[in-house]
C-alpha cells in the first residue's frame, strides 16, 4: 500500500544507549576521559538515552562537542549548576556507596523545579469526583492524553520538561491505563475538538498498543471530537519506525484508519535542527506518513547552542515546507531542568524568530511564536516597542485557561535579561497582567 521502504538491516536495527552502556558507543573513544566523566556525572541527574540512528546518522562526530545534535542528546557539564555537578562528581570520585549517591541525586532533582506550569496539580480534571491522572484539560478545545505505555522516548532531549518522568520516580509519573476514562470525559465535554496524545513519545508504543488506545475513541460516537493529534519526536530520533517491517506497516495502516474514520490526524513532530530533516530515512518516513492522509505539523523550542540562529530556523522551515510539513510552533524553553543552559533572553528569542520569519514565504508563516507555555496559558512575544517613552514587550495569549483573553495584546516592561514570564512586570503603571 505504501512506498517500498529502504531496508538497511545493519542500520535499522534499534540499539539504545544510556548511562549504563554509553562507554560502548564506538565514536566516544575519541573523546577525552574528562568528557566521558562529565557525561557520567550529568547523566545521573538528567536522564540520558540515545540510539544508533542518532549516533550514526545525525551527529557529526568531527564537530563534537559543538555539534548541535550531540548537544541536543548528550549530557553536557554546564547543564548542571556548578554546585550540583561538584556534589555528584565528588561522590563518584570518592567511590561513595550507591545509597549515598542516590540520596544526593534525589535532593538535586527536587531543586530543579520538576513540575513547571502546574503540570501535576492544576490541569488534572475530575470525572465523577475522581482525579484522572493520565489526562490534562487546560485549554477548552484540547484534551491531552498521556497513555501509560507511551511515557518514554527513543532518545531524550536534555532540555525536556518531561525529564522527571524518565528518572524512574513513580511519584512524578503522569499516566492513565484506560482510554475508557478518556471516552467518558469526552462525552461529558463536547467542547473538546482535539485529543492530543502525548508522552514521552506515544510513537515509542507498538502499533497494536497505540491502536488499543485510539480505537475506543474512534468507535465511540463523539461528533465533537474532530482531531487526533500525536506529539512525537520519532521522525527525528527513529524514522525507521515508519520504514521497517510489519511494525511500520501496522502503524501506517492505523494512521490511515484514523483518517478514513473521518477524523483529522495531525502528527505534531518535534524538529529542533535542519539536520534532523536531512537523512534519507526521515524523508521517506515523512513521505509514507503523508500518504496515509495525516498532516505533519512541526514544533521546537529555541535552544541556546543548538538552534539560536535565525538562519537555522529559516532553513529548517524551508526544508519542512518542501517535505510537505507545516511549521506550527516555536517555543521558549521552559523554566525547568537545564533552562540555565539552554535558555535565551526573551528579546533575543524574539529577534531570532523575527529574522527567521522574514526569510520565508507565507507557507512557512503558519508558525507561531515565540511562545511561553506558562501556568495561565501560551504567551506569545509579538514585539518590542517604545510607547510614550517606555520600552515594552508586546505579548499575546495564543491559548488561555480563559478563552476571553486570547488575542488581546498586553504589555510588559522591557527587561533585556528576562528569560521567562516570572521575570516580567506589567508596563504603563499597571498593577497586574490581564490573566492575574
Ligand X SMILES: *Cc1c(COP(=O)(O)O)cnc(C)c1O
Unique residue bearing C-alpha cell 507557507: 363
**Strand 295-302, strand 227-232: pairing:** unpaired
- Rounded CA-CA distance 180/160 in Å is 29
DSSP string of 53-87?
Answer: HIIIII--GGGTTT-HHHHHHS--GGGS-HHHHHH
Closer CB to ligand SF4, residue 73 or residue 292? Answer: 73
Interacting residue ranges for ligand SF4, rule: CB under 6 A? 153, 156-157, 160, 162, 199-201, 233, 270
Q: Is 232 or 374 the residue whose CB approaches ligand SF4 more closely?
A: 232
Task: Indicate if the alpha-carbon torsion angle 424, 430, 434, 436 is positive or negative.
Answer: positive
Smallest distance, ligand SF4 to C-beta of residue 160, A: 3
**CA atoms within 13 A of residue 383's CA, in its CB half-sphere:** 5
Please report how close the Cβ of residue 232 comes to ligand SF4 at its closest, in angstroms. Answer: 8
From the list ligand SF4, ligand X, none, which binds 200 (C-beta under 5 to 8 Å, kind-based)?
A: ligand SF4
Write down the least CB distance from residue 117 to ligand X, Å: 8
The interface partner of residue 181, options being ligand X, ligand SF4, none and the CB cut-off 5 to 8 Å by kind, is none
CA quadruple 11, 13, 14, 20: dihedral sign: negative
User: Residue 157's binding partner, choosing from ligand X, ligand SF4, none, with beta-carbon cut-off 5 to 8 A by kind?
Assistant: ligand SF4
| Partner whose binding site includes residue 136, from ligand SF4, ligand X, none (CB under 5 to 8 Å by kind) | ligand X
CA angle 219, 220, 225 (to 5 degrees): 105
**What is the smallest separation between the CB atom of 297 and ligand SF4, expressed in angstroms?**
15
Q: How far is the CB of 139 from ligand X (least distance, A)?
A: 5
CA angle 429, 430, 435 (to 5 degrees): 155
| Minimum CB–partner distance for residue 39 and ligand X (Å) | 31
First to last CA, the chain: 53
From the list 196, 94, 180, 88, the residue with the least C-alpha distance to 145 is 196
Given the complex with ligand SF4, which of 87 and 270 has the nearer CB atom? Answer: 270
Which one of ligand X, ligand SF4, none is in contact with 282 (Cβ closer than 5 to 8 A by kind)? none
Closest to ligand SF4 by CB, 201 vs 295, is 201
Angstrom distance (rounded) from CA 159 to CA 341: 9
Give the strand pairing for 264-270 and 227-232. Answer: parallel
**Which region holds residue 304: left if phi is over 0, alpha if psi is between -120 and 50, else beta?**
beta
Q: Residue 144 binds which entry of ligand X, ligand SF4, none, with Cβ cut-offs from 5 to 8 Å by kind?
A: ligand X
Residue 12 or 373: which CB sits closer to ligand X? 373
- Residues in the site for ligand X, rule: CB under 6 A? 136, 138-139, 142, 144, 196, 373, 378, 398-399
Q: State the minimum distance, in angstroms, from the CB of residue 5 to ligand X.
A: 31
- Residue 420, binding choice from ligand X, ligand SF4, none, Cβ under 5 to 8 Å by partner class: none
Q: 272 vs 380, which CB is nearer to ligand SF4?
A: 272
Amino acid at each position: 500500500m505504501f512506498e517500498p521502504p529502504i531496508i538497511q538491516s545493519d542500520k535499522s536495527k534499534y540499539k539504545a544507549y544510556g548511562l549504563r552502556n554509553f562507554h560502548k558507543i564506538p565514536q566516544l573513544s575519541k573523546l577525552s576521559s574528562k568528557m566521558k566523566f562529565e557525561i557520567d556525572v550529568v547523566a545521573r541527574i538528567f536522564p540520558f538515552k540515545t540510539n544508533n540512528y542518532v549516533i550514526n546518522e545525525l551527529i557529526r562526530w568531527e564537530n563534537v562537542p559543538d555539534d548541535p545534535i550531540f548537544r541536543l542528546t548528550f549530557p553536557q557539564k554546564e547543564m548542571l549548576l556548578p554546585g550540583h555537578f561538584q556534589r555528584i562528581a565528588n561522590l563518584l570520585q570518592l567511590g561513595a556507596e550507591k545509597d549515598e549517591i542516590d540520596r544526593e541525586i534525589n535532593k538535586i532533582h527536587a531543586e530543579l523545579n520538576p513540575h513547571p506550569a502546574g503540570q501535576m496539580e492544576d490541569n488534572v480534571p475530575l470525572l465523577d469526583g475522581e482525579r484522572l491522572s493520565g489526562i490534562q484539560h487546560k485549554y477548552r478545545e484540547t484534551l491531552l492524553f498521556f497513555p501509560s505505555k507511551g511515557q518514554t522516548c527513543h532518545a531524550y532531549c536534555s532540555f525536556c520538561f518531561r525529564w522527571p518522568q524518565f528518572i524512574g520516580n513513580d511519584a512524578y509519573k503522569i499516566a492513565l491505563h484506560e482510554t475508557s476514562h478518556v471516552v467518558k470525559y469526552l462525552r461529558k465535554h463536547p467542547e473538546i475538538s482535539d485529543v492530543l496524545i502525548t508522552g514521552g513519545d506515544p510513537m515509542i508504543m507498538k502499533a497494536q498498543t497505540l491502536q488499543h488506545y485510539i480505537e475506543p475513541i474512534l468507535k465511540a460516537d463523539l461528533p465533537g471530537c474532530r482531531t487526533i493529534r500525536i506529539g512525537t519526536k520519532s521522525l527525528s530520533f527513529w524514522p525507521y519506525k515508519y520504514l521497517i517491517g510489519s511494525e511500520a506497516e501496522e502503524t501506517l495502516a492505523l494512521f490511515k484508519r484514523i483518517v478514513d474514520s473521518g477524523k483529522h490526524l495531525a502528527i505534531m513532530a518535534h524538529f529542533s535542527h535542519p539536520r534532523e530533516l536531512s537523512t534519507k530515512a526521515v524523508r521517506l518516513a515523512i513521505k509514507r506518513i503523508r500518504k496515509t492522509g495525516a498532516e505533519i505539523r512541526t514544533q521546537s523550542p529555541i535552544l541556546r547552542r543548538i538552534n539560536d540562529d535565525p538562519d537555522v530556523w529559516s532553513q529548517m522551515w524551508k526544508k519542512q515546507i518542501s517535505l510537505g510539513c507545516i511549521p506550527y510552533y516555536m517555543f521558549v524553553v521552559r523554566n525547568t531542568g537545564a533552562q540555565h543552559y539552554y535558555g535565551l533572553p526573551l528579546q533575543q528569542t524574539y529577534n531570532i524568530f523575527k529574522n527567521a520569519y522574514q526569510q520565508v514565504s507565507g507557507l512557512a508563516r503558519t508558525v507561531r511564536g515565540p511562545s511561553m507555555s506558562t501556568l495561565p496559558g501560551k504567551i506569545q512575544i509579538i514585539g518590542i516597542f517604545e510607547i510614550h517613552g517606555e520600552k515594552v514587550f508586546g505579548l499575546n495569549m495564543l491559548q488561555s485557561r480563559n478563552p476571553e483573553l486570547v488575542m488581546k495584546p498586553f504589555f510588559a516592561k522591557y527587561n533585556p535579561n528576562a528569560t521567562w514570564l516570572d521575570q516580567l512586570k506589567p508596563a504603563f503603571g499597571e498593577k497586574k497582567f490581564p490573566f492575574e
